């Protein structure tokens, strides 16, 4: 009961603070609703970026990967810091110069409206079909398990899951659809503090559990027992082989932190360029500490349970249940609930923004006043949330989806990154080149990862089994060698698509060179130490890799 009360208390407190902070914002204008009135400061931006990124599929999934492969999976966290530095120095000045509300808006001026609409459609498809239902499902599994909802309400596991899904979905929708970006960003910032505190408590109690009450003794035991698991350079056959951090890994990070609407929208709402850059840099520095919450607990769980868990994805919840004092369960559940809500409502808010600005205003009612655009954006958001709540219970094995989600997102993230990068770096590549790159990139990736790859793996598996080795050994051998890692495939397709766009631009250039205009919506004087701070962050990341390299 104490846990439930502390959970409700912290959750209600966040809601009240978010309401008080946003009640003076003009939610009837596009800037007010979609970008928080372009008033976000560095601290709010950084907190919102971190919480938007964190949710149960990452907290549970990445720690599960660390349980299996060790420290090498930290690449998903540490390399994000470098990507945010690139976004702060290269992309954000261009976004704010153009006064963008959505990333695809740039594509309309650089290429044409059709390219923008296609890109918005890709974003929305990825959000609706993959992200929203998975966030709801994985979050509901965590909350239901933490509070033992089936026993509490005397219902079946399936019914408890549905109740949690609809609870999270309704509360998240209230934040995202009716509060706008500022409500999302403010609640994110508060939850970010809670998550940092709660998240760091798990490895602390975990290290104390294996170190007879001493954190440092626990860390020494962890490192000396399995030193090979503290190798930052992923080995062949692991989830993140070392070579991939120089190919597709950095491309995925650049897309996610620099061009993904649900993430970069926080920086687009900055009151000026300097605040936006400071927010990205602060978030990137904190992201370096991410492995303490998202990797270390999985490694502790491997030692604590002697690697004997039935599923690697049970590593985090099992460790929480084993080491966290009962009086802290409610607080931690509230923090985790905040992380779930953050990811859900940020994706939903970005979907509403994309629909309202890029589809409704552009194609359905061009003469619509801003209040009408916001109104129908909210209607779309409610519909989207309801669809996600109905789809979510159909998803199974959510805990194992982290790596799968990264792979399936390649259908749209690399083509979109390609056309944005080429669009900014060139002046005469025409619109037809962008359209070809989008459809060719998505099509080739689907063929590679879901047709050719599985067929080659299946044939190689049959050959390996015929040699007399066990099924498990055959599977490990085949997964590592039968087909290129999906991150390498992404890099190959990025270079191929970019090359095709450049060739088209050379032989069929647009008539007039593209020149970006300054809309003067916000001040774009850069933060004077942005390059120095960025360089320090990059050196810290490189230093971490060198220190832990075996």
Residue range 483-533, pLDDT digits in tens: 788 899 999 999 999 999 999 999 999 988 998 888 888 888 999 999 999
Q: 385-417 burial by CB neighbour count: b if 16+ within 10 A, else e?
A: beebbebbbebeebbbbbbebbbbbbbbbbbbb
Q: What is the pLDDT of residue 383?
A: 85
Q: Is the pLDDT confidence value at 34 over 50?
A: no
Q: Within 13 A of 244's CA, how many CA atoms are on the CB side?
A: 27
pLDDT of residue 192: 66
| pLDDT > 60? residue 176 | no
Q: pLDDT tens for residues 104-127?
A: 888 988 999 999 889 888 878 877
Residue 33 has pLDDT above 50, yes or no: no
Q: What was the pLDDT predicted at 183?
A: 56
In eight-state DSSP terms, residue 516 is P
In the chain, where the domains are located: 56-403+529-548
CATH 1.10.760.10 at 56-403+529-548, yes or no: no
100 within 8 A of 268, measured Cβ to Cβ: yes
Please state the rounded mean pLDDT for residues 2-29: 58
Angle between helices 273-288 and 42-53 (to 10 degrees): 40
In the chain, count H helices and then E strands: 27, 0
Give the mean model confidence (pLDDT) for residues 190-199: 74
For 226-262, write each residue's pLDDT tens digit: 898 999 987 777 888 888 999 999 999 999 999 887 7
The radius of gyration of the chain from alpha carbons, rounded to an integer in Å, stands at 23
Q: Could you give the CA distance from residue 420 to residue 417 in angstroms, rounded to a whole number?
A: 5
pLDDT of 318 reads 80
> What are the tens digits of pLDDT across the range 387-417?
888 888 877 554 455 666 777 788 888 999 9
Contacts of 30 (CB under 8 A, 6+ apart): 101, 356, 357, 370, 373, 374
Q: Which of 14-18, 26-30, 54-58, 408-412 has the lowest mean pLDDT?
A: 26-30
Where is pLDDT greater, at 95 or 391? Answer: 95
Residue 158, pLDDT > 80, answer: yes
The DSSP symbol for 270 reads B
pLDDT at 169 over 70: yes
188 pLDDT higher than 80: no
**DSSP letter assigned to residue 451:** I
User: What pLDDT score does 84 carry?
Assistant: 96
pTM of the model: 0.81
Question: Distance between CA 307 and CA 299 in Å, rounded?
Answer: 10
3-state secondary structure of 40: strand
CA 170 to chain centre: 21
- Residue 476, classified by CB atoms within 10 Å of its CB into exposed (0-12), middle (13-18) or buried (19+), is middle
Question: Is the pLDDT at 425 greater than 50, yes or no?
Answer: yes
Give 358's DSSP letter: I
pLDDT at res. 196? 76
Percent of the chain with pLDDT over 70: 83
How many residues comprise the chain?
A: 550
Looking at the chain, the whole-number percentage of residues with pLDDT higher than 90 is 34
Can you give the pLDDT at residue 501?
A: 96
Q: Across residues 28-45, what is the average pLDDT?
A: 63
Tokens found for residue 547:
């220190």
Alpha helices by DSSP H, listed for 127-156, are 132-147, 149-153
- Ramachandran bin of 38, using left for φ above 0, alpha for ψ from -120 to 50, beta for the remaining angles: left
User: If you average pLDDT over residues 209-229, what whole number do you get?
Assistant: 93
Which band of pLDDT confidence, cut at 50, 70 and 90, is reported for residue 195?
Answer: confident
Torsion on CA atoms 79, 84, 85, 87, rounded to nearest 10: 130
CA distance linking residue 455 with residue 443, whole number of Å:
17
Highest mean pLDDT among 81-85, 168-172, 340-344: 81-85
Largest CA distance in the chain: 72
Residue 58 has pLDDT above 60, yes or no: yes
Q: Which of 373-382, 418-427, 438-447, 525-534 has the lowest average pLDDT?
A: 373-382
pLDDT the model gives residue 86: 95
d(CA 66, CA 213): 23
Computed over every residue of the chain, the mean pLDDT equals: 82
Mean per-residue pLDDT for 285-302? 93
Q: What is the distance between the alpha carbons of residues 253 and 46, in angstroms, rounded to a whole number?
A: 17
Higher-pLDDT residue of 442 and 54 is 442
- pLDDT, greater one: 477 or 380: 380
Q: What per-residue confidence (pLDDT) applies to 182? A: 52
């Amino acid at each position: 009961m104490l846990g439930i009360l502390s959970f409700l208390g912290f959750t209600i407190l966040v809601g009240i603070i978010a309401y008080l902070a946003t009640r003076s914002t003009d939610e009837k204008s596009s800037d007010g609703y979609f970008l928080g009135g372009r008033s976000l400061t560095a601290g709010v931006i950084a907190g919102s970026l971190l919480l938007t990124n964190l949710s149960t599929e990452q907290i549970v999934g990445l720690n599960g990967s660390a349980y299996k492969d060790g420290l090498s999976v930290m690449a998903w966290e540490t390399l994000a810091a470098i990507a945010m530095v690139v976004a702060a120095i290269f992309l954000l000045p261009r976004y704010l110069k153009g006064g963008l509300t959505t990333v695809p808006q740039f594509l309309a001026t650089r290429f044409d409206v059709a390219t923008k609409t296609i890109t918005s459609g890709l974003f929305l498809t990825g959000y609706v079909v993959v992200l929203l239902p998975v966030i709801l499902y994985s979050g509901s599994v965590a909350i239901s398990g933490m509070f033992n909802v089936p026993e509490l309400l005397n219902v079946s596991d399936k019914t408890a899951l549905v109740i949690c899904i609809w609870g999270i979905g309704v509360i998240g929708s209230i934040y995202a659809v009716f509060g706008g970006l500022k409500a999302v960003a403010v609640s994110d910032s508060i939850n970010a503090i809670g998550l940092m505190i709660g998240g760091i408590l798990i490895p602390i109690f975990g290290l104390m559990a294996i170190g007879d009450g001493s954190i440092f003794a626990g860390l020494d035991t962890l490192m000396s027992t399995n030193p090979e698991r503290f190798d930052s350079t992923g080995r062949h056959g692991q989830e993140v082989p070392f070579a991939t951090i120089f190919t597709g890994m950095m491309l995925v990070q650049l897309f996610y932190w620099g061009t993904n609407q649900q993430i970069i929208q926080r920086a687009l709402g900055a009151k000026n360029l300097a605040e936006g850059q400071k927010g990205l840099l602060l978030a990137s520095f904190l992201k370096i500490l991410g492995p303490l919450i998202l990797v270390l607990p999985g490694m502790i769980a491997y030692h604590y349970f002697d690697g004997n868990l039935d599923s690697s994805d049970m590593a985090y919840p099992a460790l929480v249940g084993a080491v966290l004092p009962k009086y802290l369960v409610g607080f931690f559940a509230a923090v985790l609930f905040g992380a779930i809500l953050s990811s859900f409502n940020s994706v939903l808010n970005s979907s509403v923004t994309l629909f309202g600005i890029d589809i409704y205003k552009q194609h359905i009612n061009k003469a619509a006043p801003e209040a009408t655009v916001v109104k129908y954006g909210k209607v779309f958001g409610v519909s989207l949330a309801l669809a996600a709540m109905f789809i979510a219970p159909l998803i199974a094995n959510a805990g194992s989806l982290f790596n799968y989600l990264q792979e399936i997102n390649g259908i749209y993230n690399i083509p979109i990154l390609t056309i944005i990068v080429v669009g900014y770096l060139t002046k005469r590549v025409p619109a037809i080149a962008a359209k070809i790159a989008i459809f060719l990139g998505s099509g080739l990736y689907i063929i590679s990862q879901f047709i050719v790859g599985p067929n080659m793996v299946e044939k190689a598996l049959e050959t390996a089994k015929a040699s007399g080795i066990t099924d498990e050994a055959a599977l490990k051998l085949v997964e590592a060698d039968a087909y290129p890692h999906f991150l390498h495939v992404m890099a190959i397709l990025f270079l191929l698509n970019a090359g095709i766009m450049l060739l088209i631009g050379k032989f069929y250039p647009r008539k007039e060179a593209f020149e970006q205009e300054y809309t003067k919506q916000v001040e774009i004087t850069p933060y004077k130490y942005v390059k120095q701070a960025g360089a320090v962050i990059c050196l810290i990341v490189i230093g971490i890799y060198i220190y832990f390299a075996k």
